[in-house]
Amino acid sequence: MVNLKIIPGQSLKDGALEILYEKMVEDHTADTVFMDGSISNAQEFVKAMKGVQFFCVVDNEKPAMMFWLNNFTSRAAQAHFCVFKEFWGKRGIELGKHCLQEFLHKQDDNGYIFDVISGTIPVKNKRAVQYVKKVGMKKVGVLPKSIWNKTTQKSEDTLIVYIER
């Protein structure tokens, strides 16, 4: 991954998070990623990303994807991905695999930081379900009615997935 950079959120220039959110809107993914209605504009996105470990993945000087980790417990975290449309397909899958492995093998003075990374995906989001499988995450099961869909005003099922070192 020669021209790949994983940039931590705190290292991004002022205004970068707003631009990344607007890219999600342009790609028609913002409403899908935040289907519960918790984030509906750039300002809410910036505020929410201050409470997580946020990363922007740049491939050949272009933003390719972003992801954030939260819900930390012991040596575990929950991951959330958004691949930009230009990188959908094989390259986006390669980038996702690389990022997951990068974090699973990250160490500090006490050894590995994460033993497992998990995620939840709305079952109806077929593209995301296929993506997490292709990046190597394994299915735990389906949790019924566990995410709110603001558009339909109904709770929907989520797929629970994980990857371990």
Residue type, 43: Q
30, two tokens: 């913002």
Residue closest to 95 by CA, chosen among 123, 60, 135? 135
pLDDT string in tens for the chain (165-residue length): 668 999 999 999 999 999 999 999 999 999 999 999 999 999 999 999 999 999 999 999 999 999 999 999 999 999 999 999 999 999 999 999 999 999 999 999 999 999 999 999 999 999 999 999 999 999 999 999 999 999 999 999 999 999 999
Arithmetic mean of pLDDT over the chain? 96
**Based on the structure, what is the number of domains in the chain?**
1
pLDDT at 132: 97
The number of C-alpha atoms within 13 Å of 58 and in the hemisphere containing its C-beta is 13
57, two tokens: 């993945």
pLDDT at 3: 85
Q: Please identify which residue in the block is written with the tokens 């809107």.
A: 25
CATH of the domain at 51: 3.40.630.30
Residue type, 108: D
How far, in Å, CA of 63 to CA of 18, rounded? Answer: 13
Residue 160 and residue 120 in contact, taking contact as beta carbons nearer than 8 Å: yes
Name the residue range of residue 66's domain: 4-164
DSSP H or E run through 103: helix 90-104
pLDDT at 1: 61
Residue 16 and residue 63 in contact, taking contact as beta carbons nearer than 8 Å: no
Residue closest to 120 by CA, chosen among 71, 57, 165? 71
